[in-house]
Amino acid sequence: MGLSTLPIHKITMQQPSSPPPSAAEASSVWIRRPAIVVLIVAAVVLPCSVIYLAGPAAPDVLSSSSARWKRTLPFLLVPDSAAAANGTNTTAAAAAAADGVVSDHPEEDNEQARLRKVLEGAATEDKTVILTTLNSAWASKDSVIDIFMESFRIGNGTRGLLEHLVVIAMDREAYERCASFHPHCYALVTEGVDFSGQKNFMSAGYLKMMWRRTNFLREVLEMGYNFVFTDTDIMWFRNPFPHFYPDGDFQIACDHFVGNELDLNNSPNGGFIYVKSNNRTIQFYKFWCASKERYPGRHEQDVLNFIKRDPFVREIGLQMRFLNTAYFGGLCEPSRDFNKVCTMHVNCCIGLSRKIYDLKLMLDDWRNYMAMPPERKISEGHTWSVPKNCSFAPLQH
Ligand SMILES: *[C@@H]1O[C@H](CO)[C@@H](O)[C@H](O)[C@H]1NC(C)=O
Ligand SMILES: *[C@@H]1O[C@H](CO)[C@@H](O)[C@H](O)[C@H]1NC(C)=O
Ligand SMILES: *[C@@H]1O[C@H](CO)[C@@H](O)[C@H](O)[C@H]1NC(C)=O
Ligand SMILES: *[C@@H]1O[C@H](CO)[C@@H](O)[C@H](O)[C@H]1NC(C)=O
Ligand SMILES: *[C@@H]1O[C@H](CO)[C@@H](O)[C@H](O)[C@H]1NC(C)=O
């Protein structure tokens, strides 16, 4: 039996397979419940943890308290209070977002209940999920997200992993796009911030989005879920789980790998991280998020580079491992052996159109490799045709 049929919770334990969850099970997450009751409860219980809302209208049953709705309901599409008062509509996204948020944990707020529901729907038996974040700039048709999904389908033993993938949408458009092709979408809402546009590397919006993401991953750990976080511009060609270190708590891919998984001189890349949920990792994520204040203007990866040597990390006993680029490569340092590569990241590349161009070439390289008979797969020295357009050079305008 091929790897392609193995759900990852089995693979991590190196055991024989069982069938993946049925389509009916997967889609049960999406069975609608009366949304309005939930929405009203939400308005009462939600803290001010939420949102920027953009779009045309809110349901008129809610319009009298539009300011509050604006803060509390994800993607209810309320650009400002005037328009909200004018609103007469709920959107598909609002209804979907409100789906199934009746919580088994009454003390939880609406956001947490919604997240828990999505994670439960996607997790393996051992509570592991694969997470990626998406904003509308990367969500359009034929853009990065489509290429990302395609890699799972043409990878060796990766298609089944899609059952465990949760797409974290950073804005409404991304959420709606996700909902159009994938059963596990979560709308991550952030008060007063619009994450929808293309974020230029290191702009204020980019920094904010990266820190929001790190903080969100902390929440996932606190809910008891292990995760692989993957950037959407990483191609999944093989199942990575057999290549994680069994004793590692926090395992991260590298732009440059120095040859030893324990060496703190490795240059980690936060685009691909495997983290087990335990007290050490939860403390570590809290520490990481808090360290933002000590290094203003730095993104989360820079700060990780500072804190990886911090005595605190040793004190809590966090087992940090750096993943070998032979398996977890990228354009900075490619996985040279096609017979080993698990993932390839279009890192060391500035500009969305360049990334898309090179990602497609990468898929073509992989398809050519997969189409070869087994003996040629092994005997021939396959090489990537990328980086082609990708570079750090500033984009022309
Ligand atoms: C309310 O909606 C109507 C019709 O869609 C529109 O013409 C009007 O400008 C809206 N008013 C406000 C305050 O948005
Ligand atoms: C609400 O919006 C949806 C999508 O934009 C539209 O299809 C539907 O007709 C609208 N419903 C009402 C009552 O305006
Ligand atoms: C996928 O990987 C397995 C195990 O490594 C291998 O036996 C198989 O030939 C691969 N499939 C393809 C189509 O390359
Ligand atoms: C964390 O530690 C506490 C006690 O210090 C323990 O009760 C709890 O089970 C631990 N949680 C995890 C996730 O390991
Ligand atoms: C990629 O580079 C080629 C030339 O090397 C150029 O013709 C093409 O327009 C570039 N494409 C993108 C999307 O940047």
Kindly report the CATH number assigned to the domain that includes residue 119: 3.90.550
Whole-number Å distance, alpha carbon 135 to ligand 5 midpoint, is 24
Q: Is the CB of 374 under 6 A from ligand 3?
A: yes
Taking the CA atoms of residue 238, residue 253, residue 319 and residue 246 in that order, the dihedral angle to the nearest 10 degrees is 10
Dist. CA 110–CA 313, nearest whole Å? 33
Residue 211 lies in a domain: yes
Does residue 74 share a domain with residue 7? no
Ligand 2 pocket mutation, candidates 63, 76, 86, 89, criterion most atoms within 8 A of CB: 89
Does residue 217 share a domain with residue 147? yes
Residue 167 lies in a domain: yes
Which of 322, 350, 366 is the last residue in one of the domains? 322
Short-list 83, 89, 88, CA closest to 67: 83
Number of Cβ within a 10 Å radius of residue 226: 21
Q: Where are the beta strands (DSSP E) in 276-352?
A: 320-322, 328-330, 343-345
Q: Which amino acid is at 228?
A: V
Residue 22 lies in a domain: no
Ligand located closest to 87 CA = 1
Q: Can you give the pLDDT of all 397 residues of the chain as single tens digits? A: 333 333 444 333 333 333 343 444 333 332 333 333 333 333 333 332 332 233 333 333 333 333 333 333 333 332 333 333 333 333 334 444 444 444 456 566 788 999 999 999 999 999 999 999 998 888 987 889 999 999 999 999 999 999 999 999 988 899 999 999 999 999 987 665 655 555 555 566 777 888 889 999 999 999 999 999 999 999 999 999 999 999 999 999 999 999 999 999 999 999 999 999 999 999 999 999 999 889 888 888 889 999 999 999 999 999 999 999 999 999 999 999 999 999 999 999 988 999 999 999 999 999 999 999 998 998 878 999 999 999 888 776 5
Which residue minimizes the CA distance to atom 11 of ligand 3?
A: 156
Six token digits for residue 67: 């300011």
Dist. CA 121–CA 59, nearest whole Å? 28
Structural domain count, the chain: 3
Backbone angles phi, psi at 269, to 5 degrees: -125, 115
| Entry pTM | 0.71
Taking the CA of residue 157 as reference, the ligand 3 atom at the shortest distance is 1
pLDDT of amino acid 3: 37
Please tell me what DSSP assigns to residue 336: -
Dist. CA 216–CA 207, nearest whole Å? 14
Ligand 5 pocket mutation, candidates 147, 357, 385, 386, criterion most atoms within 8 A of CB: 357
Does residue 305 share a domain with residue 286? yes
Short-list 121, 215, 111, 214, CA closest to 163: 121
Whole-number Å distance, alpha carbon 360 to ligand 5 midpoint, is 12
Which residue minimizes the CA distance to atom 2 of ligand 4?
A: 279
Residue 388 lies in a domain: no
Whole-number Å distance, alpha carbon 159 to ligand 3 midpoint, is 13
Does residue 297 share a domain with residue 349? no
Does residue 290 share a domain with residue 196? yes
Which residue minimizes the CA distance to atom 10 of ligand 5?
A: 389
Which of 301, 322, 343 is the last residue in one of the domains? 322
pLDDT of amino acid 331: 97
Taking the CA of residue 90 as reference, the ligand 2 atom at the shortest distance is 1
Dist. CA 374–CA 325, nearest whole Å? 24
Does residue 85 share a domain with residue 221? no
Question: 141 and 106 in contact (C-beta within 8 Å)?
Answer: no
State the residue range of the domain holding 113.
3-15+108-322
Does residue 254 share a domain with residue 135? yes
Q: What residue has token string 């161009």?
A: 357
Does residue 174 share a domain with residue 81? no
Does residue 88 share a domain with residue 7? no
Give me the long-range contacts of 106-115 (CB less than 8 A, separation at least 24).
Answer: 109/45, 109/46, 109/47, 109/49, 110/38, 110/41, 110/42, 110/45, 110/46, 110/72, 111/46, 111/49, 111/50, 111/74, 111/189, 112/219, 112/223, 114/74, 114/186, 114/187, 115/186, 115/219, 115/220, 115/223
Does residue 178 share a domain with residue 306? yes
Q: Is the CB of 86 under 6 A from ligand 1?
A: yes
Residue 21 lies in a domain: no
Whole-number Å distance, alpha carbon 156 to ligand 3 midpoint, is 6
pLDDT of amino acid 137: 86
Whole-number Å distance, alpha carbon 19 to ligand 4 midpoint, is 32
